[in-house]
Every structure is written in C-alpha cells, then in structure tokens.
Structure 1
C-alpha cells in the first residue's frame, strides 16, 4: 500500500474532495478517485468523507492507494459480431453477458479481449484496460458500440458524445402499461447514497435526460424506444424504474419476482449514429433485438 498525506491550502478550500484529489493525482481518473473514496481509503482528519465533501483549509487528507495490479490484458479468440470496420474505427454488436472492458478482478472474456485478437491497432487514450473504448453499455445490455482504432478518431468520437450529437437509440421492454405515447425523464443521477453498486436519482447529481416513445403495449408490459440525450451509468434502467416502469429482467432495479427466466434486462442498444471522424460523413448502424428478446415479445403478443 502507498500512503499519501496531503494538507489543504487556502486556495483549495471549498473544493469537492474528489476534485481536490484529482488535482493532486492527475494520473488518476475522477471515477477512480471516487471509487477510492467510496471504499474508505481516504480519511479527512481521521474520518471518512463522501466525494462531495468540501475540504477546509488545513484539513489533513490521508490517501491509501492500493498496490498496482500487473494486469496483462490478453487477446482472446472470442467471436464478435462486426458491423463495420475501417482503419479508424470498428462497430460491433455486443451480446448480452459480455463486459465491455476489463475491471479489477476480471481480465478475461471481455469485448476488449476479443478486439485485441481481432485487431491490434486500438487507441490508447483510456489506457491498457480500456483500449479503444469510447463509450460503454452494461454487461447484460446488448447492442451497437463504436470502438476507436487511433487517438485522433477517439477524440473526435468522444467529442460527439460530449456534445450529445451522437445518435443512441435503445429498445426496452418495461413493466406495466405506459399510457402516454411518449415522454421525457429529466432527473439527475448519482451513486445511491446507501448502496454504492446502484445508481439513483439524487438531487445535485449529474444531469441525465432520457426520451421514450411507446412502440407496442401488451397486457401488463410496454415495449418502448429510448433515445439518450446524456449517457450516464444505468441511465435508462434507473429512469424507467423511477417512473414506475422498470426494465423487465433487471436484477438491480427491476421487480424482485420475475415472470421470465432471463439472464438480464431486456434492453438493447438498437441504433448508433455518428459523424465519421475522418471522412466527415454521417454513419448509422442498426441491429434487431436478440432472439431471447424476440421470444418474450412473441409470448406477450399471444396473451
């Protein structure tokens, strides 16, 4: 373990704790810093604090950094569904059950492992653990992802995500009947105050906007299209649960008692559109929902 002791100076007073630490550890991402805080590895004057704690002048901040893990991210011969590929990027259709990139303790079986076997030229902006990864979808969410092969393409694609110009459309089967034809959920999201695994609607959290539209109604479920204006962790899942229509099969935010034998939520990233970082042309890719998703829809149509 590497223990660092920091003293808050006058110009740093009233900074959020996570931002204060980002200033002193510029090689660490804000998300990484927040995880360290949540795990109780940061003490302010001998006590643990939350990421949004405002530091005070002369606060004594002690940070315990875990020893680095020498993770070797290996290329693995895992089949991937490639929708498009050129020298700058690759678009894939990720299956349910696959993690996008390695995380602590999981270094195999991810999309990154498969991509390294498919092509060795991936952008290095996000480091050894997330080469080429511009955006993510949850492990048990299927659908379209774009991956950058070089840093120039990565920066251009990331800019489109940031300014909300990238088209991202999902299909979800949710619980109960949505009466209105369409709607928008505009509620801020942050880590759940009591359960750090979950996200939640939290005042003061990060802006999150989800637009939804009814595709088809069943006896006690609704098939909807969701368009993301922002891209927060678990955004659709949390927003739909918040308005009383959790995604069917969601083990975290959904009903405790599920009617179908599912391996995860019925949520599919159906469409992805963006401007090619080099050619400047708009490109759009669309995939059908997976077979297990179609099977549930057919069952509901017969009821």
Structure 2
C-alpha cells in the first residue's frame, strides 16, 4: 500500500526537495528526486524539478510506493564476458535482460549474473547495483563496462562525465534520410503526461546524439548513433524527435513496425581508459541474431 501525503506550504522558502525532506524526515533528498522523476510528487498538480522554489500556499501531493525487497542473490546466467582485468569487466548484455534489480524486476538481472561471476564488484551508493556505472535498456543489447572496485568506478564515472569514453550504437529506424549524418542536440526530461516515457523538454538535461546513415531500405534505415551524453532512452527519444523512431520500439515507435523483441538497438562499440594504467581499451560485438536476420531480410527484399 502506498503512503499518501499532502503538504501546504506555509511561510517556508527554498528548494522543493529540501522542503519535503525536512517535512517528511524519512525521505532523503535523493529519494525525493526519485519520486519526482517517477511523477509521484506534484506541485499544484504539476511535475516540478527538485530545484523548484516553493511559494506560500503551494499544494504538494506525494505518493510513496511500498518498496519491494530486492534480491541480490548470485545467479548463473551464463554472461558473455568480452573482457576482464583486475579493475573492469566488459559484458555483452543480451536483449531482454534488465541491468539491475528494481521494482518489477527483483532478480535474473545482469547484477545477479555478475555476483555469480565474481565477488569483486565496486560498491554502489544505492546498494542494489554493485559495479554498474552506466546502463542500457532491457530490450537494448550490447556492451557495458562494469567496475570491480571503487577506484575503477570513480575513474569510469569521471570519463562518462567528461565525455571522453566511446559509445557507438547501431539502430534500425523508420523512414529514410536526405542527409547522411547529423547532430541532435535537444534536452531530455521525464514526460509529464506519461511517467514511463522520457521526452524533449526545454527544462530537461542536456542530451547530444551524433548519427550517421549506414544503409537505407524501403521505409527503414540503419544508422550509427554516437552518444555524447547518456540520458535515459536518449537514442530512442532523439530519433523519434527527428521523425525516425526505432523499429520495434513499443514505447516510442508506431504500431506498424518490424517484428522483434523490442527496439532494434545495439550497443556495438565501447571504448574507455583502463582505470589503473590509462591505456585505451576498445571493444566491439556483433549484433544479435534477430537484428541480423531482419537486416538480411531488408537487404534482400527492400534494398533501395
């Protein structure tokens, strides 16, 4: 059963997240942000940012869902380990696997498989995602870097923040292009009308995607996407924004699409500096079978 609160601002001033954490003492500001991101906190029936400046008589409605206990038990999931040393693991995540335990996905995640593979994983502030420094969606396949110790985690997180690592994706999208390449720079935030979706939002976080058209078919195109930032659902939202939603995407794509097991999106190439030596490491992995078969079919029947 969810807990429901309603707060009416008296004379207080300051940030929304700070005010709520002071009024409901068992809510940290981090937890408040999570609830805001999930559209569980409304100010005057609207979603506001954690930094929103409260005003007298603001009405704040808060829903705190009951948290399910998360299972961090090791599981033998036969992970595809591409590379491993004393600091990092590079793993090829299959389509359909969730990265870490969360509500609705308490086990059978990449983290459960990593805990079976090794006892050496960096601690995570939240506790439920040891070793994880970045994520890809459940139905996106491909490469992830995992930290085996805290020093490695800090190094990899710095590289992500400084945009010095390399992340290249292959995406099969709807439609054809006039330009062979481009840059999509549009901020992304939570969709206020659908808490499961992200959307282009002028008040969202900076998001930049570079794309190059590799092949074109009748009604579809294969593109390479290079991430400059790493926002939730970034490629899926950006490609929809320019009129080329991902094929098979159940959340952002059209109903009339290619059959598969979700969006045709694959994290093909990953590059970063080894945390201890500073040596550049770069890895690539082939697209999954279902993706390859669809491409072969398009090449055979719909090549332009």
Name the TM-score, length of structure 2 as normaliser: 0.87
Alignment of 1:31-50 (within 5 A): 31-35=33-37, 38-40=39-41, 48-50=45-47
Q: Which moved more, 1:1-10 or 1:64-73?
A: 1-10
Counterparts in 2 of 1:275 and 1:29: CA distance versus 1, 3 Å: farther
Counterpart CA distance in 1 for 2:237 and 2:64 is 31
Does the Cα contact within 8 Å between 2:166 and 2:272 map onto a contact in 1? yes
1:105 alignment partner in structure 2:
104
Q: Which shows bigger deviation, 23-32 or 143-152?
A: 23-32
CA distance in structure 1 between the aligned counterparts of 2:219 and 2:256, rounded to whole angstroms: 14
Q: Do the aligned partners of residues 69 and 299 (structure 1) sit closer, same or farther apart at CA in structure 2, a change above 3 Å counting?
A: closer
After superposition, where does 1:8-27 map in structure 2 within 5 Å?
13=13, 15=15, 17-18=16-17, 20-21=19-20, 25-26=27-28
Within a 5 Å distance, the mapping from 1:1-303 to structure 2 comes to: 13=13, 15=15, 17-18=16-17, 20-21=19-20, 25-26=27-28, 28-29=30-31, 31-35=33-37, 38-40=39-41, 48-52=45-49, 53-56=52-55, 65-66=64-65, 68-258=67-257, 260-303=258-301
Task: Kindly state the Cα deviation for residue 56 of structure 1 after the two structures are TM-superposed.
Answer: 2.0
Structure 2 vs 1, CA of residues 218 and 63 (structure 1 numbering), >3 Å: closer, same or farther?
closer
d(CA) in 2 for partners of 1:128, 1:62: 28
Give the deviation of 1:88 after TM superposition.
Answer: 1.3
- Residue 3 and residue 296 in structure 1: after superposition, are their counterparts in 2 closer, same or farther (change >3 A)? closer
Give the TM-score of the pair, scaled to structure 1.
0.88
Contact map agreement 2:143 2:268 (CA 8 A) in 1: yes
Question: Does the aligned pair in 1 maintain the 2:47–2:192 contact within 8 Å?
Answer: no
Note the residue ranges of structure 1 that are not aligned, 5 or more in a row.
none
What do residues 166-216 of structure 1 show as CA deviations (whole Å, max 9, x unaligned)? 111001111111121100111111111211111111122111110000111
Corresponding pairs, count: 295
Superposed CA RMSD: 2.6
